[in-house]
Amino acid sequence: MSDTKIWAHSGDSHLLEPDDLWHQIMPKQQADRMPRTERISDSEERVTVDGTSFTRPLPKIYTRKGTTGETIAEVSSRPPGARDLVQRMKDLDEEGIWAEVVYQSIGLWCSLIQDPQLIRDAARAENEWLVSEVQGLAPDRLVPAALMPMLDVADAVAELQHAADIGLHLISLPTGNPPGTKDYNDDSWEPLWAAADEAGMVIGFHIGTDGIDQARAFGGPGGAVLNYVNTTYGGQFVAQKLVLSGVFDRHPDLKVLISEGGATWVPFIGDRMNEGYRQHYMFVRPQLQRLPKEYLYENVYASFQHDETAPAAMTAMGYRNVMWGSDYPHAEGTYGHTQKTLHELFDDVSPEVRHRITRGAFEELFPHVSAPPA
């Protein structure tokens, strides 16, 4: 293994918001209703959103494992920069991570809010905070994802335009449909895709955002990993819905990023869709201008962190929009062993493939980011 530092952009990172974020940026009456978490034991936390609570398991200790399962380090807390943006940049420099797509953490629970006014106001406040307090710290490296009010399509369109106006480059949508709205393949969403296309806004879907039930659908032996794998599929379905409903026929320049869900599913799902499209042609509507797999390969980007087969999606299966991601600072991520992971993934592929997966695909979505140190 070479010891040269590999610099990579990350298509999947997160921000741990300050505990009092909502109270910093919203009136108290509204802030009190926003998502919050509290640790209720060593192994559980309670999530409360607008008066409704549920508990979820917490890892007791963050065990960092290599790609062959060996323990790299055991640490009892998050990375030092998890909550401190200045320290975060030091962590990134040490790990070899340059630019990042930055999703929310607690903000991801906002998809459970059911009051349109509350989520409208929260999204507006959060996005302004993201521009001034996050993106503003390193505009050539940090690409925070806008929070979106998704209970009403017109609200989503308005906030997308606001997010674009204040300089954000990416919106974050849940893979599962928000309560009360039609599915993403329904024509009612067309104004949102059109607005994203017009604003040049990338649409990010982080896996595991299709509701709390998906994350605990299985019990019994193997349940933890079954649930982990299960959170992946929502990203695959949302990509299929956009392709098959003709969104990319109408908006050939629209770019979608499916974060944290791996990359080899793209060739697989592409093949399945093509077979269905061809063999069941008589039932298919709408008819597309090209085969489904072509849109999946062109308009959809997919990030992975450890998957050892992911580079082969490009080298062996012709899918070029494979993007690496660190998932910093989450337990599933590469913090503490990023260089080891990058070397294991990329030492045996060509420089072109390595460049495309660690940098090229990311820079295609976000051409404004700067280049890492040579």
Residue 12 or 17 having the CB closest to Mn ion: 12
- Count of residues binding Mn ion (CB under 5 A)? 3
C-beta of residue 4 within 8 angstroms of C-beta of residue 374? no
For residue 367, with 0-12 CB atoms within 10 Å meaning exposed, 13-18 middle and 19 or more buried, which class applies? exposed
Peptide bond into 286 cis (omega under 30): yes
Which H, E and C letters describe 166-190, residue by residue?
CCCCEEEEECCCCCCCCCCCCHHHH
* Nearby residues of 140 by Cβ (< 8 Å), 6 or more positions away: 99, 368, 369, 370
Range in contact with Mn ion (rule: CB under 5 A) among 5-13, 154-162, 281-289, 308-316: 5-13
Stated as kind and residue range, the H or E segment containing 44 is strand 44-49
C-beta of residue 96 within 8 angstroms of C-beta of residue 339? yes
C-beta of residue 246 within 8 angstroms of C-beta of residue 252? no
SS3 144: strand
Range in contact with Mn ion (rule: CB under 5 A) among 10-18, 50-58, 89-97, 290-298: 10-18
Range in contact with Mn ion (rule: CB under 5 A) among 114-122, 126-134, 253-261, 337-345: 253-261
**In the complex, minimum distance from the CB of residue 205 to Mn ion, in angstroms, rounded to a whole number:** 11
**In the complex, minimum distance from the CB of residue 347 to Mn ion, in angstroms, rounded to a whole number:** 25
Range in contact with Mn ion (rule: CB under 5 A) among 49-57, 112-120, 127-135, 260-268: 260-268
Residues 12-71 that bind Mn ion (CB under 5 A): 12
**In the complex, minimum distance from the CB of residue 342 to Mn ion, in angstroms, rounded to a whole number:** 17
**In the complex, minimum distance from the CB of residue 299 to Mn ion, in angstroms, rounded to a whole number:** 21
Query: Which residue among 260, 265, 270, 326 contacts Mn ion (CB under 5 A)?
Result: 260
Residue 12 or 307 having the CB closest to Mn ion: 12
**In the complex, minimum distance from the CB of residue 303 to Mn ion, in angstroms, rounded to a whole number:** 8
Residue 7 or 335 having the CB closest to Mn ion: 335
Strands 97-103 and 142-146: parallel
Among residues 147, 139, 138, the alpha carbon closest in space to that of 170 is found at 147
**In the complex, minimum distance from the CB of residue 306 to Mn ion, in angstroms, rounded to a whole number:** 12
Q: Is 307 in the site for Mn ion (CB under 5 A)?
A: no
Residue 10 or 299 having the CB closest to Mn ion: 10
Which amino acid does the sequence have at 308?
A: E
Range in contact with Mn ion (rule: CB under 5 A) among 62-70, 78-86, 238-246, 256-264: 256-264
Residue 10 or 177 having the CB closest to Mn ion: 10
**In the complex, minimum distance from the CB of residue 304 to Mn ion, in angstroms, rounded to a whole number:** 11
Among residues 168, 3, 10, the alpha carbon closest in space to that of 98 is found at 10
Range in contact with Mn ion (rule: CB under 5 A) among 39-47, 159-167, 195-203, 324-332: 324-332
- Written as six digits, the tokens of 259 are 């974060």
Contact footprint for Mn ion (CB under 5 A): 12, 260, 327
